[in-house]
Structure formats: C-alpha cells, structure tokens
Amino acid sequence: MSRLVVISNRVAVPKQGESGNQGGLAVALQSALRQHGGLWFGWSGETTEQFTGTIHDAEGAGITTATIDLEEQDIEEYYNGFANRTLWPLFHYRIDLTEFERDFEGGYQRVNQRFADTVAPLIEDDDLVWVHDYHLIPLGKKLREGGLRNRLGFFLHTPWPPTRLLTALPSHRKLVESLFAYDVVGFHTEDWLDSFHHYVTSLMGGTVDGTRVTVGDRTICAIIAPIGIDTAEFEAAATSDEARFARERMYMSATGRSLIVGVDRLDYSKGLRQRFLGYERFLASQPERRGLTSFLQIAPPSREKVDTYQEIRADLDALSGRINGEYADIDWTPIRYVNRGYPRQDLAGIFRAARVALVTPLRDGMNLVAKEYVAAQDPEDPGVLVLSVFAGAAEQMKDAVLVNPYSAEEMADALVTALTMPREERIRRWQALIAGVREQDVFWWCARFLDALEAVKEREMA
Ligand code: GDG
C-alpha cells in the first residue's frame, strides 16, 4: 500500500492532550493516514516576519504533520483575499460579494508556490498525494513544474460554479487549466461535476467519456465522491453522558415546546437570514402555534477578518432582535441565537433533543450537519430534517423535507409539515436517511477517492 500525503490549507490534528473535538473530515483523513502511513501538510495558522520555509514537524494521535508559517501579507492576500473574498463567494454563486483584486491572485499563486516548494522534498517516490479544497487548486501544477511524478489527486469541498459565473473571474482559464495537473479530481455531487464538464467542453474544447475528461493531450479522471460523516462515532456520541446532559438542558429550557435547531458556521452561504425570515413567516401565519416552538440557532463566528462576515453578524443580530421583539412573550423567546461553538458531544445531544433541524443553505458543497442530525436521532422517536434543495446533501437525502430556502412561505410550510408529521412517517423517513448516512460514511468517501487515485498508473512525464 502506498504512503499518503494529505495537503490542505490547515492541518486538523489534535495537539497532545487535547480531547480531539474535531469534525468528520479531520477524523476521516486521520484514519486514512493511519491506514496508509504518511503525513499531513499545511499552514500552521501562525505568522512569521519573513517566510523561510521552516517546517514544524509534529506527531499527534499517530499522525505525522508538517506545517509552515506564512507572512502577514500572504495571509491577507491568499487566505482572507483570494480564497475567502474571491473564490468562496464566487463558488457559492455570490458574484455580488466577490472581490476581484490582482494582489489577491498574486498572493494565491505565491502561497501555492511556497506550499509546493516546501512539501516537495517530503514526498517520496511511491506516495499518493491528495490536495484539498479551493485554497490550493494551483498546487498540483506547481508540484508538476517542480518535477513531481506521483499520483496526484484533488478534492473540492465547495460547489463548482456554473460556467457563466466562473467566467467573471479574470483568471478563470488559468485556474481550470491548473486542475489538469492532477490525475483524479473529485466533487461532492453530480451538479458540481456537470458544471465542471460544461466549462471544459464549452470553453476548452474538451471531451468527456465516463469519468475521463480530456483537453488536448491530457486526460484526467473526474469523479463524484460525496463526503459522509463518521456515522458510528456520531451515533455513539449522541448517547454519551455529555450528550444526555445537553439534551436534558434542552428539554428543561423548552418546557414542553417543540425544539427546532440550526447549527452552522456564521456564513452567508448557510442562508441564516432566509431561515430567520422563514421562521418569522411561520410565526406570522400560524398564530395558534406561537409559543409552542422554540428555535435554537447555534452559529459560531468564522472568517471574522472579512468584512462581509462582520456585516452578516450585525444583520442577524438585528433580525433576531426584531423577531423576538415582535413575537416574544413574558415566558417565551421565539429565537435563541447563540454565537458560540459547542463540544461535539453536546451538539449530538442538542440534535437528539430537537424535533426539527433546519439545514437550509443557499448553496453548500455537501453539508455535514444534515448527516449529523440524522445520526443523532432516537430510532424510536426521530426528528425531521428540513433540508435545502441547494445543499449538495439533497442529492442523497431525498427523504428529508426538501425546501427552497429563498421562499419564506415554503420554509413556513415545511415547518408545519415537520412539526405535525406522524411518528410512523418520521420513522419511515429516518430509516431511509440513516441507511444512506451509515452506508456512505466518511470512510467510504475516503476509500472511494483513494481507490480511484491508486488505480491511476504512475504518470509518464514528458
Ligand atoms: C465545507 C463545505 C462540506 C458547526 N458548529 C459547531 C461544529 N460545527 C461542525 C458541524 C460540522 C462542521 O462543523 C461543518 O460542516 P459543514 O459541512 O456543515 O460546512 P462547512 O464548514 O462549510 O464545510 C461543506 C464540508 O466542507 C465537507 O466537505 O460539507 O459543504 O462548505 O461537522 O458539526 N462543531 C462543534 N461545535 C460547533 O459549535 N464541535
């Protein structure tokens, strides 16, 4: 079995002594790394005055990691700039929020070169190299330019945008061309893969034959590999003592009301504004149900250095305040809106206590919260998942109550459907959902991608 080298913007291995409060992706990659041996490379999250390429080696939880520090300007242009002000909004169809600055692009290329130069000497002949996400699209090309011949894969965790949006990016052609340095490119859904095919066939004169995508003399393998969660771990977490305690706290606070929950990074792609408006519509149109539900939205802040993220925070503060001001009573608060993260076990308990989960992004590569909510349910009395049709997860999770998050009326109707759903129907839908979440878990995803990568013959360099 070949050794595995994982490269991502950040490395998510718990430090010695930490409890390992981490997401599914980290867990999956760690398990793949343990299985194959190898290392995980990325940015340390630290700044340095002058980039030196010094590598910090560490061992944690049986995984070897190698990280580098970046300069302030690198972080501004590459991370806060091109990654989070340009590509993130553009890939989530928010061209209105997309900033186009040549300096950002310059920083993006520079940092990808820095990654390539520092990681290349750590890669051994037969290693499989797996690069993650939109921060590092050009990395493969830069590694090839440095002479790397290994099997090289790339996985995109976000949507791939429609061609007509992507072409708003001045350097779109260069970005897409650089993907052809990889051997295998993975997307979560058919939608994202279709958009990629469309770009390649309509603008690059490329052809598609099954998983093979050819432009000129270069053929790559483009696959759908929907990510899952560590389902067994999350199911166990939901019945842990910590989860039970969190669940009790939820029940006590709800005093017999039906709980509705949302858990999302505070990000405009997650559709929080539209979710609050949908809930407001529900309260306005269902006066007899007022006071019978309690909506808890957990939204830990992210990317706070980017202005849009500060604006969305202020917007949601105002909106939740307005809705509570309008509908609250002396003994009832319609929305509890919390800008704080909770340990995973607590989240599992909160999910289990909730009769309904609102997972209503405007656009999402996959969305793991939808799968976690399902995994946390009590099989005898499961809650209902209300899921946006614009989440990648909707391609797999057809037994959820699917909703268009742009329509406040549809959201209000979906809430009524979910809150009044008979137990037999809840059980039937949940059984169908959990079967998928169990079968296509994060280990399945990892294996699916790595099998495709291992199947590639070692590249013949010209
Ligand atoms: C990107 C793509 C794709 C959230 N709040 C807390 C907390 N979380 C955890 C959730 C979940 C994870 O963070 C979020 O994952 P998502 O998939 O929902 O969203 P993104 O962060 O945007 O992830 C997405 C994913 O990559 C994987 O490919 O699905 O489409 O955008 O695990 O539970 N965890 C804890 N406390 C919190 O308060 N412990």
pLDDT at 30: 82
Task: Specify the length of the chain in residues.
Answer: 462
Same domain, 449 and 370: no
Taking each helix axis as running N to C, give the angle between helix 307-327 and helix 272-285, from 0 to 180 degrees, rounded to the nearest 10: 10
The CATH number of residue 153's host domain is 3.40.50.2000
| Ligand 1 and 364: CB distance under 6 A | yes
Q: Give catalytic residues, as residue numbers.
A: 157, 364
120 CA → ligand 1 middle, Å: 30
| Contact 10 CB / ligand 1 (< 6 Å) | no
pLDDT the model gives residue 410: 98
What's the domain range around 303? 231-439
In a domain, 256, yes or no: yes
The answer as to whether 203 is a domain residue is yes
151-155 and 4-10: which strand pairing? Answer: unpaired
Residues 197, 136 share a domain? yes
What pLDDT, on a 0 to 100 scale, did the predictor assign at position 24? 58
Pocket residue to mutate for ligand 1, from 135, 265, 269, 388, most atoms within 8 A of Cβ: 265
Does 72 map to a domain? Answer: yes
How many angstroms separate the alpha carbon of residue 243 from the centre of ligand 1? 18
With respect to residue 57, please indicate whether it lies within any of the assigned structural domains.
Answer: yes
Q: 427 and 348 in one domain?
A: yes
Q: With a cut of 0.85, is the ipTM above it?
A: yes
> What pLDDT was estimated at residue 15?
58
Query: How many A from CA of 226 to the centre of ligand 1?
Result: 14
Q: Are 136 and 115 in contact (CB under 8 A)?
A: yes
> Which residue CA neighbors atom 27 of ligand 1 most closely?
157
Q: How many domains does the chain have?
A: 2
Looking at ligand 1, which residue's alpha carbon is closest to its atom 9? Answer: 23
Q: What confidence score (pLDDT) does residue 458 get?
A: 58
Q: Does residue 396's CB lie within 6 angstroms of at least one atom of ligand 1?
A: no
- The confidence score (pLDDT) of residue 20 equals 44
pLDDT of the residue at 19: 45
| pLDDT score, position 254 | 86
What pLDDT sits at residue 36?
A: 84
Same domain flag for 305 and 353: yes
Q: Looking at the structure, do residues 11 and 149 belong to the same domain, yes or no?
A: yes
Residues 205 and 269 in one domain: no
Structural domain includes residue 344: yes
| Contacts with 249 (C-beta within 8 Å, 6 or more apart), sequence order | none
| 430: in domain | yes
In a domain, 462, yes or no: no
Q: Would you say the CB of residue 343 lies under 6 angstroms from ligand 1?
A: yes
* Antiparallel, parallel or unpaired: β 218-224 and 212-215: antiparallel
For residue range 1-51, list pLDDT tens digits in order: 889 999 999 987 765 545 444 555 676 788 788 888 889 999 999 999 999
The finding on whether 93 has its CB within 6 A of some atom of ligand 1 is no
Please identify every stretch of the chain with a pLDDT value under 50, giving residue numbers as ranges. 17, 19-21, 460-462
**Atom 21, ligand 1: residue with shortest CA distance:** 265
- Looking at the structure, tell me whether residues 208 and 318 fall in a common domain: no
Both 216 and 91 in one domain: the answer is yes
Look at the alpha carbons of 331, 337, 342, 344 in this order and tell me if their dihedral is positive or negative: positive
Q: What six digits make up the tokens of 167?
A: 């072409």
Ligand 1 pocket residue status of 8, Cβ below 6 Å? no
Q: Record the pTM.
A: 0.96
Tokens of 401: 């109550």
Q: How far apart are CA 362 and CA 339, in angstroms?
A: 20
Same domain, 432 and 322: yes
Per the domain annotation, does 206 fall within a domain?
yes
